[in-house]
Amino acid sequence: MNRIEGRVKVTGLATYAAEYPVEGVTYAYPVQSLVAKGRIARVDDREALAMPGVLAVLSSERPPELAPEAEGELALFQSREVAYRGQIVAAVVADTYENARAAAAAVRVEYQPQAHDVHLSAEHPGLYRPKTVNPGFPSDTGHGDVEAGLAAAATTIEVTYTTPVLHNNPMEPHASLAYWDDLGRLMVYDTSQGASSGRDIIARTFGLPPDAVRVVARHVGGGFGCKGTTRPQAVLAAMAARETGRPVKIALTRHQMYDVTGYRTPTIQRLRLGADADGRLTALEHVAYEQSSTVEEFAEQTAVPARVMYGTPALHTAHRLVRLDVATPSWMRAPGECPGMYALESAMDELAYAAGLDPIELRVLNDPETEPDSGLPFSSRDLVGCLREGARRFDWERRDPEPGVRRDGEWLIGTGVAACTYPARRMPSKAVVAAQNGEFLVQIAAADIGTGARTVLTKIAAEALGVDPARVHVEIGDSDLPDAFLAGGSMGTASWGSAVFRACEDFQRDGKEGHADTAEEIARDAEMARHAFGAQFAEARVNAVTGEVRVSRLLGVFAAGHIMDATLARSQFIGGMTMGLGMALMEETYTDEEFGGFLRRDLAQYHIPANADVPGIEAVWLEEEDEGLNPMGSKGIGEIGIVGTAAAIGNAVFHATGHRVRDLPITPAKILMPRF
Check if 639 is active-site: yes
β-pairing, 175-180 vs 411-423, is unpaired
Question: Judged by CB under 6 A, how many residues of this single chain contact ligand MOS?
Answer: 12
For ligand MOS, the nearest residue by Cβ is: 225
> Site for ligand MOS (CB under 6 A): which residue of 333, 454, 541, 601?
333
Q: Which is nearer to ligand MOS, 60 or 490 (CB)?
A: 490
CA distance 431 to 199: 17
Which residue's CB is nearer to ligand MOS, number 174 or number 333?
A: 333
| Stretch of 14-22, 212-220, 314-322, 332-340 contacting ligand MOS, by CB under 6 A | 332-340
Is residue 628 within 8 Å of residue 530, measured between CB atoms?
A: yes
- Determine the Cα–Cα distance for residues 450 and 546; give it in Å rounded to an integer: 37
Q: Rounded to an integer, what distance in angstroms lies between the CA atom of residue 100 and that of residue 94?
A: 5
Each residue 205-224 as x (binds ligand MOS by CB under 6 A) or -, in order, gives: ------------------xx
Closer Cβ to ligand MOS, 472 or 522, answer by number: 522
| Burial (Cβ within 10 Å: 0-12, 13-18, ≥19) of residue 37 | buried
Contact map string, positions 85 to 124, toward ligand MOS, x by CB under 6 A: ----------------------------------------
Q: Nearest approach, Cβ of 463 to ligand MOS (angstroms)? A: 26
The CA-atom distances, in angstroms, between 571 and each of 333, 560, 617 are 15, 14, 11
Site string for ligand MOS, 615-654 (x = CB under 6 A): ------------------------x---------------
Residue type at 480 in one-letter notation = D
224 vs 501 by CB, closer to ligand MOS: 224
Contact positions with ligand MOS (CB under 6 A) in 166-195? 193
Collapsing DSSP states into helix, strand and coil, what is residue 100?
helix
x-marked contacts with ligand MOS along 471-490 as a string, rule CB under 6 A: -----------------xx-
Min dist. Cβ of residue 50 to ligand MOS (A): 43
Q: In sequence order, what are the beta bridge partners of 589?
A: 165
Whole-number Å distance between alpha carbons of 57 and 62: 10
d(CA 420, CA 526) in angstroms, rounded, equals: 24
Instruction: Write down the least CB distance from residue 382 to ligand MOS, Å.
Output: 23
Taking the least distance from each CB to ligand MOS, the nearer of 149 and 477 is: 477
Question: Which of 247, 266, 335, 650 contacts ligand MOS by CB under 6 A?
Answer: 335
Beta strands in 220-280, from DSSP E residues, in sequence order: 248-251, 267-275
Q: Which one of residues 30, 149, 225, 305 is an interface residue with ligand MOS (CB under 6 A)?
A: 225
Tell me the C-alpha distance between 284 and 279, whole Å.
Answer: 13
Binding residues among 485-514 for ligand MOS as defined by CB under 6 A: 488-489
DSSP of 542-599, one letter per residue? EETTT--EEEEEEEEEEE-BS-S-HHHHHHHHHHHHHHHHHHHHT--B-B-TTT-SBS
Q: Which of the residues are catalytic?
A: 639
Interaction site with ligand MOS (CB under 6 A): 193, 223-225, 228, 331-333, 335, 488-489, 639
